Amino acid sequence: MSLVGTNVEMVGGRAKVSGAVSYVADMEFPGQLYAKALRSPYPHARLLRIDASKAAALPGVRAVVTRNDLAGLNPYFGTGVEDQPVLVIDKVRCVGDIVAAVAADSKEIAEEAITLIEADYEELPAATDLLEAAKPGAPIVQEQHIDKRAGGNIHGVYRASSGDIEQGLKESDDIIENIYKIPPVQHGHIEPHVVTALWEPSGKLVVHTPSQTPSPLQEQIAKVFKMPLNRVRVIVPFIGGGYGGKNHARIEPVVALLARKARRPVQWILSRDEVFLTGRRFGAVVKIKTGFKRDGRLWARQVEAWYDMGAYALSGPANTKNAAIIAGGPYNIPHRDYTTYAVYTNLPPAGPYRGVGASHVCWAYESDIDDIARRCNLDPLEVRLKNLLRENDRFITGEAMISVGVSECVKQVAKSINWQTGAEQSLRSDAKATEQSLRSDAIVRGKGLAVAIKSTSTPSTSAASVRLNADGSAILLTSTSDMGQGAQTSLAQIVADELALPFERVTVTFPDSDVTPYDKSTSSSRATFHMGKAAQLACDKIREQLFQAGAKALEARVEDLELRDSRLQVKGVPEKNLTYPQLFKAIYGEASGSLFGSHTLRTEGGVDAITGQGKGSSFWFYSAAGAEVEVDTETGKVRVLQVASAVDVGKAVHPLQCGLQNEGSALAGLGSALFEEMLYDNGQPINSSFLDYLLPSMLDHPGEFKSLLVETPHPDGPFGAKGMGEAALPPMAPAIGNAIANALNGVRVRDLPVMPHKIVTALNGCKERR
Amino acid sequence: MKLAITTTINGRREEITVNPHQTLLEFLRDDLKLKGAVEGCSVGVCGSCTVLIDGKPVSSCLTLAANIEGKSVTTIEGLSQNGELDPVQQAFLKYQAFQCGFCTTGMIMAVKGLLNAHPHPNEAETRDYLSGNLCRCGTYKEVLAAVKELSGS
């Protein structure tokens, strides 16, 4: 029986409902100390003097580290760009930069010690506004890492184009041009960043951390401490939510440094306000200009987008580069010219957040599609379907697109929210408010749609190793992290099917770099596709050994054999079979031993930064969202009545978990549409708590919430599966934005989030113009 | 200075000493090593540290340990009896009303509190009652389904 495609009980589910999961913060080690940091109060300043002697003298303090403790190390680390110091060296680049850190017997002592550290700064002008930071003459955040030809704080410029943009705009019947703003938002993982580091007497460093990127993290730490990889052990248990916020090295290097100096295990759990200083979504500004034909055909599109990376690049350059390819959406457009800029600012570092890079441009290109439909007096659904990519269409990268389920996604979404087709119906909203209200005249309703495209990290590497035991049970050794998406469950389903084992007979390891092989990351929705495929190919290598041994023992040809129900048998002659113990006996002479199969999957591809040509993604993922809203035209309040979210998953390995990922992503998209926004005042964060920064609660969750899974198989994915965890987030904000604009007969807010006061202002602006 | 108090934790009467400034969450996690309640926001808005005091849900990050004198505290560890999951835990498992699981113990305790006080809540009441338990994985629909079954409606 095939397990792939069924809803087996989630691995770890019982532990999760019992409170028996050990997250990193739950683990204690003998002699463990507690860390705390002194952080920069300024967005940009020279660190003149630092004196930690009083802190070091406080009873109970076991180690204090400052820039004076970096001798002998590679003091800068980073994912692509090594621009982040373990501790501030010459200057602070954002509020929250780590200037010093303490390890003490208790949290209270560590906190007290921090207050005893003396630091003198010379404040510098700060680049805290994205567009200003990108201009020549702006204060420079990272002198060593800017593209001097581009000017300002621009680290990299990325382009993709096709056709002739000038000609295309000339040939267009009409042109619209708009600017969209997308603010930073929080990942909102309820588990804060937390790290425990300890040095074994042998000199080996052990780091327990909820990391989505255990292998690259291990490399980064090894490089900082100038150690071989086998001396750095990174262990990742269940993660209490990641969403991109736990990619890359963050506080691991400084905790390891403290542990080395203290010669004791050190744990650091970030407070919530520190989490706000540690990661966020890029803010962005998107300028978009589209020429189109009267019949709704998109003819020419020009996009310029600026991405605010904050003080440190992390994956910003790669994410910004990927954004250049998808800046105009999943559409066929004859003439395209897209440019994106990765910009440093004196804000706390940004990084990947669910839907990275894609959400920003999607807000712009999908809002514009509805405006174009309105100009042409056409149904926005029809305009989308007329222009969307189809199977084998050439994308802007020059590659032929396969497994393109985007039209199906938007059709299903439209059906789900009872989209009224035709311009007459879809552009004019005259539905009445649902709730009895004395002010019901002020309340209007509307519906909106949006689609999205996103790439996965390409090229990239995932290695898997499967160990089969003689009793017919198997373990998958993998560095894929389980952060709630259910990776251990779906990977076990794949291995169980490949080896014809019951689900209970397959387990999946947690990442542990002493045991599990290299993996690029559990991010960009890549784990099922890449690790699933690697596991499948690793199983193939075990199968080969079993079939060879079985053919000999059963005196049959290899091609006449099949693995079924934990047995190798002759096809059509099930009584001629060998159980797993018998197979091991045939191979090793006794029913003991281990059979290994390993595979390293390396995907090909990548695009040229100047031309945008190449293979942009090992698989592309597509999604669509639909929403119906009620808008109070007097107060600007928006109520989301229903949403639908469709994702093309290729093949749903675990349909229930796919549905949960879809809903979670879509709900986060709803939050970013309507209220989520990290605020800064001259570089000072001003809403760094869940009191001031709202996450969607059960009251924000729409009453009607449809999760739809489209299955357009991908030839390279395991069982046809593609990634899907992030897919639902990008189109949700524009779907809601389009629904609001639909309710308001085209009046539109282009700055996220669409807060009530912006709606009122936009409505007032329209009245004034009349 | 430590305070000696008498309390009941997961059905067992305990004589304990606590620091006056210690929160209930710190006491449960650090002193009793009950790690099921977790810290998410430390300001009482995320709900992941929810435990029951005399059957009512509280944010243990905002409650002083000293305040449990003479009261009965129930944590997630106290729900299952003889290895049998509590009906709320079973319903969460059945509907897979969680993903990463970090908010789950608090969510389950809040549902316990809800059903203790209101055995048959409707959906609107459930949403309102649980709006102080945040789940960034967004698994609200499944929690609602679990509560619906538990409330017999």
CB contact under 8 A, A241 and B48: no
**Is residue B26 located within the same domain as residue B73?**
yes
Range in A289-298, A348-357, A604-613, A690-699 with the lowest mean pLDDT: A604-613
Confidence of residue B121 (pLDDT cuts 50, 70, 90): very high
Enter the DSSP assignment of A316.
H
Residue-level pLDDT at A612 = 87
**Is residue B72 located within the same domain as residue B99?**
no
CB contact under 8 A, B132 and A697: yes
| Cα–Cα distance for residue pair B103/A309, rounded to 1 Å | 30
| Cα–Cα distance for residue pair A278/A259, rounded to 1 Å | 21
| Residue A309 pLDDT > 90 | yes
Residue-level pLDDT at A431 = 59
User: What contacts A51, CB < 8 A, 6 or more positions away?
Assistant: A117, A118, A119
CB contact under 8 A, B136 and A241: yes
Annotate B121-136 with b (16+ C-beta within 10 A) or e (fewer).
beeeebbebbbbbbbb
In A, which residues are within 8 Å of B37 by CB distance? 19
Of A401, A338, A289, A359, the C-alpha closest to A610 is A338
Q: What is the 3-state secondary structure (H, E, C) of A510-542?
A: CCECCCCCCECCCCCCCHHHHHHHHHHHHHHHH
Residue-level pLDDT at A434 = 56
* CB contact A661 to B (< 8 Å): yes
Burial class (CB in 10 A: 0-12, 13-18, 19+), B149: middle
Closest alpha carbon within chain B to A689: B41
Q: Which candidate from B42, B102, B123 shows the least CB-CB separation from A240? A: B102
- Count of CB contacts below 8 A, A vs B? 162
**Is residue B96 located within the same domain as residue B35?**
no
Q: What is the mean pLDDT of residues A556-574?
A: 96
- Strand ranges (E), A692-737: 704-710
Residue B20 lies in a domain: yes
Question: Is the separation of the CB atoms in A721 and A649 below 8 Å?
Answer: yes
Q: For domain A460-602, give the fold.
A: Aldehyde Oxidoreductase; domain 4 (3.30.365)
**Which tokens sit at A622?**
């597509």
Q: What is the rounded (10 degree) CA torsion for A670, A673, A675, A678?
A: 110
- Average pLDDT over chain B reads 96
- State the number of CA atoms in the 13 A half-sphere of A116 facing the CB: 16
Last residue of a domain, one of B31, B56, B77: B77
User: What contacts A767, CB < 8 A, 6 or more positions away?
Assistant: none
Last residue of a domain, one of B20, B49, B77: B77
**Is residue B64 located within the same domain as residue B110?**
no
| DSSP β-bridge partners for residue B16 | B5
| Cα–Cα distance for residue pair B136/A693, rounded to 1 Å | 13
Confidence of residue A415 (pLDDT cuts 50, 70, 90): very high
**Which tokens sit at A272?**
């919530």
Of A337, A429, A336, A334, the C-alpha closest to A374 is A429
In B, which residues are within 8 Å of A240 by CB distance? 38, 100-102
Residue B49 lies in a domain: yes
User: What contacts A215, CB < 8 A, 6 or more positions away?
Assistant: A234, A479, A511, A513, A518, A519, A520, A521
Confidence of residue A435 (pLDDT cuts 50, 70, 90): low
Measure in Å the smallest separation between the Cα of A588 and chain B Cα atoms: 41
Instruction: Check which CATH number belongs to the domain holding B114 and give it.
Output: 1.10.150.120
Closest alpha carbon within chain A to B101: A16
Helix (H) or strand (E) holding B116: helix B104-117
**Is residue B72 located within the same domain as residue B92?**
no
pLDDT digits (tens, 9 = 90+) for A529-550: 999 999 999 999 999 999 999 9
| Residue A424 pLDDT > 90 | no
Residue-level pLDDT at A441 = 82
| Cα–Cα distance for residue pair A446/A736, rounded to 1 Å | 9
Question: Is the separation of the CB atoms in A715 and A403 below 8 Å?
Answer: yes
CB contact under 8 A, A698 and B45: no
Burial class (CB in 10 A: 0-12, 13-18, 19+), B33: exposed
Q: What is the mean pLDDT of residues A650-671?
A: 98
Residue-level pLDDT at A427 = 78
Residue-level pLDDT at A523 = 96
**Which tokens sit at A55?**
């802190």
In B, which residues are within 8 Å of A691 by CB distance? 41, 43, 45
CB contact under 8 A, B101 and A657: no
Residue B93 lies in a domain: yes
Burial class (CB in 10 A: 0-12, 13-18, 19+), A72: exposed
Taken as a whole, chain B contains a residue count of 153
Among B49, B77, B98, B99, most A C-beta atoms within 10 A, so best to mutate, is B99
Question: Is the separation of the CB atoms in A738 and A449 below 8 Å?
Answer: yes
Question: Is the separation of the CB atoms in A326 and A401 below 8 Å?
Answer: no
Among B61, B100, B135, B144, most A C-beta atoms within 10 A, so best to mutate, is B100
Of A177, A179, A222, the C-alpha closest to A203 is A222
| Cα–Cα distance for residue pair A161/B121, rounded to 1 Å | 57
In B, which residues are within 8 Å of A10 by CB distance? 96
Structural domain boundaries, residue B15: 3-77
**Which tokens sit at A162?**
């096709």
**Is residue B10 located within the same domain as residue B50?**
yes
Closest alpha carbon within chain A to B28: A26
Alpha carbon A518 to its chain's center: 19
Alpha carbon A662 to its chain's center: 13
Instruction: Check which CATH number belongs to the domain holding B66 and give it.
Output: 3.10.20.30
- Per DSSP, the three-state class of A78 is coil
**Is residue B10 located within the same domain as residue B29?**
yes
**Is residue B50 located within the same domain as residue B91?**
no
User: What contacts B89, CB < 8 A, 6 or more positions away?
Assistant: A17, A18, B79, B80, B108
- Residue at A311: amino acid letter: A
- Strand ranges (E), A185-328: 194-199, 205-208, 232-235, 266-269, 283-292, 298-310
Last residue of a domain, one of B77, B103, B123: B77
Residue B72 lies in a domain: yes
| Residue B153 pLDDT > 90 | no
In B, which residues are within 8 Å of A272 by CB distance? 40-43
ipTM: 0.98
In A, which residues are within 8 Å of B99 by CB distance? 241, 484-486, 657, 660-661, 664
pLDDT digits (tens, 9 = 90+) for B67-111: 999 999 999 999 998 889 999 999 999 999 999 999 999 999 999
**Is residue B69 located within the same domain as residue B113?**
no
Domain spans in chain A, listed from the N-terminal domain onward: 460-602
Closest alpha carbon within chain B to A482: B100
Residue B82 lies in a domain: no
Closest alpha carbon within chain A to B40: A190
Residue-level pLDDT at A768 = 66
Residue B118 lies in a domain: yes
**Is residue B145 located within the same domain as residue B103?**
yes
Residue-level pLDDT at B1 = 81
Burial class (CB in 10 A: 0-12, 13-18, 19+), A55: buried
**Is residue B10 located within the same domain as residue B60?**
yes
User: What contacts A34, CB < 8 A, 6 or more positions away?
Assistant: A103, A104, A105, A106, A107, A109, A110, A266, A267, A268
How many structural domains is chain B composed of?
2
Measure in Å the smallest separation between the Cα of A500 and chain B Cα atoms: 26
**Is residue B9 located within the same domain as residue B66?**
yes
